[in-house]
A and B are shown apart, each in its own frame.
Chain A
Amino acid sequence: MKHILIADDSDVIRSIVEQTLRLHKYENILKAFDGQDALEKARANKGHIALYVLDVNMPRMDGLTLVKELRSFDATTPIIMLTTETDKSKMLTARDYGATGWIIKPFQAEKFIKIVEMYVKP
């Protein structure tokens, strides 16, 4: 069972992303509310996560640090960062840490799904 892990401190964003995914038949979704939580959930589900969708700004552990931590035990699962226009400059660093790509918020649901489909099928 392959999951998509969403990490964002905003309830609203988490819900929207989850709903969008479910609407397009993605059923196995894990949600985390900050970096630390995401890391724990990632460890607990090692091997069963097909895609990470991570917010850049989160308390307790921000997105960039999270990427570094994740890559220490998961070298291949794609990681998509959710960022804002102002934080775009951090994306180069994110890539250096091992992130696969990034999306600027707010984004259109259809485009988001097209991106997700490149990495995992429902």
Chain B
Amino acid sequence: MTIEKKSALRTQVNALNSLLAGYEPGDLLKGVDIRDTLSSLKKEMESLPRMEKLLQLTHHLIRVAETLADPEKEPHAMNLLRSTGKDYEAFLAGSLSAKEFSERIRARSSLFKQVLRGQKAPTVSRRDQVEVYTESGGLKSAESEARGTEKGKPSKNADGEGSPPEVHTGYEEGYFDGIVEDEKLLSQFYSEAREHLEEAQSALVELEYDPTNKELINNLFRNFHTIKGSSAFLGLRNVEELSHAIEDLLALVREGKIFLTKELIDLVFHGMEILRNLLEGMQINEFRPRDMKKSFQIIEIFPYIGLMRRVLEQYKYRKIGEILAEEGKITLQDLQHLLKRQQETEKKIGELAVEEKIATTEDVLEALKKQKSQVAKVKRLGYVKVSNEKLNTLIDIVGELVINQSMLKQELLERSGVDRGERNISQLETITTTIKNLVLSMGMTPISEIFTKLRVVARNTAEELGKSVYLEMRGEDTELDRNVIETIYDPLIHIIRNSIDHGIEDAEERQRKGKDKVGRIILAAEHKGSGIEIIIEDDGKGIDPELVKAKAVELGLVKKEEAEELSLKDTYGFLFLPGFSTSSAVTTVSGRGVGLDVVKKNLDSIHGRVEVISEKDRFTRFIIRLPLTLAIIEGFVTRVGENKYVFPFSAIEEIKVIDPAEILASENGNGSEALIYHRGMHIPVLKAHKVFKEEEKGREDRILSLLFSLDQTRYCVVVDDLMGKQEIVIKNLSDTLLQECPYFSGGTIFGDGSIGFVVDMQGFLEALK
């Protein structure tokens, strides 16, 4: 760095420090000046070579300065800025060496994280997100130093330490360049790592039943520790970072600081899956680093690592010194001083703080109280096992409770008029609703339960078939009714097996097509509308619609001329018919005539829908739509003819009262059709009476209708009366009735004791056509 440049930087830093010195709480203008000065500083540094770490620090300082606008974060942000600013100045003046400067920054990284937590970056770029992850990378080293010193023992985590926070933008430039060019060594590592993972797997599976077994935990820990060590030696940074993250978690488990819950076990399984994929990426490329790199690039590790860190934060409890600093009772300098003294005297931080008059006894007692409450929280995190049967019974009874409560309300209203007992009734209603919601949520489980099992299935299938597949999962914490989850497990297995068998091509073919050797399957779940959507998509060879059409014609399901006219959706719909399979060879895995028709049947039984979209040689996507829960829905009650019919409220787009004059008639192939013009579109007007076989009893002058939309088409359905929105407990109708009337999903009992039918939207709209 030239003298002029250094001097320019010093001027900026000095300006910054004067601003910081003169800052009073709430001074927004000064806050802006501070940010501007930091930006100028950053600009100055950008033109200089090898300033990456300082640049990054300055970037973080800018973000800290942004938090000054938040009164809650302001004192900590100010502390951080002032202390860092002082060190910066000292470093530029030469009174602080680069190493010392680095160390001081690292010692504050936990406070950086504290202040920046929840801070939205101005542009949510990958870079910013990942910075937080690696901030925690630095966090780890700082905290273990603190942890180690507070106990008076030297920190044991000596490996990988001494590196200040680094920035990864996905995989940064040169991330994989350090991989050792030695096929034999890499191959050896591969075999050993696979053995370690096997051992880890056994240990983990046993730990599911015996989560406090020290021997198993140690075993598990050692396996990851070893993998981490050897991968580091070979320059396999991704493997190293990943195993490091898992090792960190297991270290805390080993120390008895965290209890190995089911959630954590699943998390470790997840990590192991990614590790296996990485190992496979090595093998499939025959341990040639240049080729391995390509497969490595598509396997993401940072989302997982970030997740691990966040989980760890939740579970860890903080040290007294940190709590005091956070509360603003002591400054960062004080904390450092105390830590140093602690090493000398081996006294407790709290004691030292009071002795040195840095904090009052009250402050320390407060901090201790806070710490205790965190520990209690950590220990109390547990689960109870409840049998499905008991839960289903409970849900049923709560359903009855809801109905009865509404009946009671009705009766009281009729008997004594509106005012009497109204408060008690609404209280009862509130309590009932709360119970209902709680019970329903108890019956919901995150889909991660089966997703994890599906991973294993995918892995085994891929191995069996000699294919290389990477399963990517999204939305694992989407919650579903337990009963629904249990029913979709088999269909999902089948679809995934199908994908791996018929979808993903073998490595050679994929390479020929210019695809990555490792096939990719995405398994995603998300809430959509009032239900759940699950997507299974593979980047394999797709399903050729022409082949499907040909087969359909061959099986006599459609005439050749008609086949030409078929939409893609209808074409792919054939796949769900019994006996339909376009592959000539029936493989052991997904063959044996168990086709997609079974999948559809299973899904139908829980009012789910399935659809396929595909593009030849590019992808095949299965879209499954499921209801959230089968028990209680928000419904809209209508009267059609003599009876009451309930439509799911979420399916209704609009309620429309039509003047008969608005109805237009149009001629089409099937005779004349009634339409209305609504919001720029012509929508067919259909009578619910046709489907339900009821007489029309509505008014002539005003036509009441509901507007629905399904698969891009809109329908206007006429009913006789609109009776309002209501919570509906769905009771099952007999199977035979459901078979005959696919437009019903169940029945219900109203508050006045009358019964009504609950409409199944898909079945209903199909019947209308």
User: Which A residues have a C-beta under 8 Å from some C-beta of B?
Assistant: 78, 80-81, 88, 91-92, 94-95, 99-104, 107, 111, 114-115, 118-119
Name the residue on B nearest A116 (C-beta): B28
15 new A-B contacts, CB < 8 A, other than A102-B26, A103-B29, are A80-B28, A81-B26, A88-B24, A91-B26, A100-B26, A101-B28, A101-B71, A103-B28, A104-B29, A107-B29, A111-B29, A111-B32, A114-B35, A115-B69, A118-B66
Q: How far in angstroms is the closest Cβ of chain A from B531?
A: 30
User: Which B residues have a C-beta under 8 Å from some C-beta of A?
Assistant: 24-29, 31-32, 35, 66, 69-71
Q: How far in angstroms is the closest Cβ of chain A from B300?
A: 30
Determine the distance from Cα of A3 to Cα of B747 in the docked complex, in whole angstroms. Answer: 47
Contact of B32 among A92, A104, A114 (CB under 8 A): A114
Q: How far in angstroms is the closest Cβ of chain A from B191?
A: 55
Determine the distance from Cα of A122 to Cα of B27 in the docked complex, in whole angstroms. Answer: 23
Q: How far in angstroms is the closest Cβ of chain B from A63?
A: 13
Can you report 20 residue pairs joining A to B where beta carbons are below 8 Å apart?
Answer: A78-B69, A91-B24, A91-B26, A94-B26, A95-B25, A95-B26, A95-B71, A99-B26, A100-B69, A100-B71, A101-B26, A101-B69, A102-B26, A102-B28, A107-B29, A111-B32, A114-B35, A118-B66, A118-B69, A119-B69
Name the residue on B nearest A88 (C-beta): B24
- Supposing A101-B31, A114-B32, A115-B31 touch, asked if A92 and B25 sit within 8 A by C-beta, the answer is yes
**Which residues from B are CB-within-8-Å of A94?**
26
Name the residue on B nearest A108 (C-beta): B29
Max chain B Cβ within 10 angstroms of own Cβ: one of A92, A107, A111, A119: A111
Determine the distance from Cα of A115 to Cα of B28 in the docked complex, in whole angstroms. Answer: 7
Determine the distance from Cα of A73 to Cα of B24 in the docked complex, in whole angstroms. Answer: 27
Determine the distance from Cα of A95 to Cα of B26 in the docked complex, in whole angstroms. Answer: 7
**Which residues from B are CB-within-8-Å of A78?**
69
Determine the distance from Cα of A102 to Cα of B28 in the docked complex, in whole angstroms. Answer: 6
Name the residue on B nearest A115 (C-beta): B28
Determine the distance from Cα of A91 to Cα of B27 in the docked complex, in whole angstroms. Answer: 9
Determine the distance from Cα of A114 to Cα of B30 in the docked complex, in whole angstroms. Answer: 12
Name the residue on A nearest B25 (C-beta): A95
**Which residues from A are CB-within-8-Å of B31?**
101, 115
Name the residue on A nearest B71 (C-beta): A100
Is B27 touching A101 in the complex (CB atoms < 8 A)?
yes
Determine the distance from Cα of A74 to Cα of B263 in the docked complex, in whole angstroms. Answer: 38
**Which residues from A are CB-within-8-Å of B35?**
114
**Which residues from B are CB-within-8-Å of A103?**
28-29
**Which residues from A are CB-within-8-Å of B71?**
95, 100-101
**Which residues from A are CB-within-8-Å of B32?**
111, 114-115
Is A102 touching B27 in the complex (CB atoms < 8 A)?
yes
**Which residues from A are CB-within-8-Å of B69?**
78, 100-101, 115, 118-119
Determine the distance from Cα of A78 to Cα of B25 in the docked complex, in whole angstroms. Answer: 15
**Which residues from A are CB-within-8-Å of B26?**
81, 91, 94-95, 99-102
Name the residue on A nearest B66 (C-beta): A118
Q: How far in angstroms is the closest Cβ of chain A from B29?
A: 6
Q: How far in angstroms is the closest Cβ of chain A from B99?
A: 36
Q: How far in angstroms is the closest Cβ of chain B from A77?
A: 13
Q: What are the nearest 10 A-B pairs in CB distance?
A: A101-B28, A118-B69, A101-B26, A115-B28, A114-B32, A111-B32, A102-B26, A95-B26, A103-B28, A103-B29
Q: How far in angstroms is the closest Cβ of chain A from B484?
A: 37
**Which residues from A are CB-within-8-Å of B27?**
101-102
**Which residues from B are CB-within-8-Å of A101?**
26-28, 31, 69, 71
Determine the distance from Cα of A81 to Cα of B71 in the docked complex, in whole angstroms. Answer: 14
**Which residues from A are CB-within-8-Å of B70?**
100
**Which residues from A are CB-within-8-Å of B25?**
92, 95
Determine the distance from Cα of A99 to Cα of B28 in the docked complex, in whole angstroms. Answer: 12
Name the residue on A nearest B28 (C-beta): A101
Q: How far in angstroms is the closest Cβ of chain B from A20?
A: 15
**Which residues from B are CB-within-8-Å of A104?**
29
Name the residue on B nearest A119 (C-beta): B69
Q: How far in angstroms is the closest Cβ of chain A from B28?
A: 4
Q: How far in angstroms is the closest Cβ of chain A from B269?
A: 40
Determine the distance from Cα of A100 to Cα of B70 in the docked complex, in whole angstroms. Answer: 7
Max chain A Cβ within 10 angstroms of own Cβ: one of B24, B25, B69: B69
**Which residues from B are CB-within-8-Å of A114?**
32, 35
**Which residues from B are CB-within-8-Å of A81?**
26
Determine the distance from Cα of A94 to Cα of B27 in the docked complex, in whole angstroms. Answer: 12
Name the residue on A nearest B24 (C-beta): A91
Q: How far in angstroms is the closest Cβ of chain A from B403?
A: 35
Max chain B Cβ within 10 angstroms of own Cβ: one of A80, A92, A95, A101: A101
**Which residues from A are CB-within-8-Å of B28?**
80, 101-103, 115
Q: How far in angstroms is the closest Cβ of chain B from A2?
A: 17
**Which residues from A are CB-within-8-Å of B29?**
103-104, 107, 111, 115
Determine the distance from Cα of A91 to Cα of B24 in the docked complex, in whole angstroms. Answer: 9
Max chain A Cβ within 10 angstroms of own Cβ: one of B28, B31, B66: B28
Determine the distance from Cα of A114 to Cα of B28 in the docked complex, in whole angstroms. Answer: 10
Determine the distance from Cα of A92 to Cα of B27 in the docked complex, in whole angstroms. Answer: 10
Name the residue on A nearest B72 (C-beta): A100
Q: How far in angstroms is the closest Cβ of chain B from A21?
A: 16
Max chain A Cβ within 10 angstroms of own Cβ: one of B27, B29, B35, B66: B29
**Which residues from B are CB-within-8-Å of A88?**
24
Determine the distance from Cα of A78 to Cα of B26 in the docked complex, in whole angstroms. Answer: 12
**Which residues from A are CB-within-8-Å of B66?**
118
Determine the distance from Cα of A109 to Cα of B70 in the docked complex, in whole angstroms. Answer: 21
Determine the distance from Cα of A101 to Cα of B27 in the docked complex, in whole angstroms. Answer: 6
Q: How far in angstroms is the closest Cβ of chain B from A53?
A: 11
Determine the distance from Cα of A115 to Cα of B29 in the docked complex, in whole angstroms. Answer: 8
Name the residue on B nearest A92 (C-beta): B25
Name the residue on A nearest B70 (C-beta): A100
Q: How far in angstroms is the closest Cβ of chain B from A70?
A: 15
**Which residues from B are CB-within-8-Å of A95?**
25-26, 71
Name the residue on A nearest B122 (C-beta): A117
Name the residue on B nearest A98 (C-beta): B71
Determine the distance from Cα of A100 to Cα of B28 in the docked complex, in whole angstroms. Answer: 9
Q: How far in angstroms is the closest Cβ of chain B from A46?
A: 22
**Which residues from B are CB-within-8-Å of A99?**
26
Q: How far in angstroms is the closest Cβ of chain B from A18?
A: 19
Determine the distance from Cα of A94 to Cα of B28 in the docked complex, in whole angstroms. Answer: 14
Determine the distance from Cα of A88 to Cα of B24 in the docked complex, in whole angstroms. Answer: 10
Determine the distance from Cα of A62 to Cα of B681 in the docked complex, in whole angstroms. Answer: 55
Name the residue on A nearest B33 (C-beta): A111
Determine the distance from Cα of A111 to Cα of B31 in the docked complex, in whole angstroms. Answer: 10
Q: How far in angstroms is the closest Cβ of chain A from B22?
A: 12
Determine the distance from Cα of A91 to Cα of B30 in the docked complex, in whole angstroms. Answer: 14
**Which residues from B are CB-within-8-Å of A119?**
69
Determine the distance from Cα of A80 to Cα of B35 in the docked complex, in whole angstroms. Answer: 18
Max chain A Cβ within 10 angstroms of own Cβ: one of B32, B66, B70, B71: B32
Determine the distance from Cα of A95 to Cα of B29 in the docked complex, in whole angstroms. Answer: 15
Q: How far in angstroms is the closest Cβ of chain B from A80?
A: 7
**Which residues from B are CB-within-8-Å of A102?**
26-28
Determine the distance from Cα of A100 to Cα of B27 in the docked complex, in whole angstroms. Answer: 9
Determine the distance from Cα of A77 to Cα of B31 in the docked complex, in whole angstroms. Answer: 19
Determine the distance from Cα of A100 to Cα of B67 in the docked complex, in whole angstroms. Answer: 12
Name the residue on B nearest A110 (C-beta): B32
**Which residues from B are CB-within-8-Å of A107?**
29
Determine the distance from Cα of A104 to Cα of B70 in the docked complex, in whole angstroms. Answer: 18
Name the residue on A nearest B74 (C-beta): A101
Determine the distance from Cα of A13 to Cα of B69 in the docked complex, in whole angstroms. Answer: 23
Name the residue on B nearest A81 (C-beta): B26
**Which residues from B are CB-within-8-Å of A80?**
28
Determine the distance from Cα of A101 to Cα of B67 in the docked complex, in whole angstroms. Answer: 12
Determine the distance from Cα of A81 to Cα of B69 in the docked complex, in whole angstroms. Answer: 13
Q: How far in angstroms is the closest Cβ of chain B from A55?
A: 15
Q: How far in angstroms is the closest Cβ of chain A from B87?
A: 26
Determine the distance from Cα of A107 to Cα of B27 in the docked complex, in whole angstroms. Answer: 12
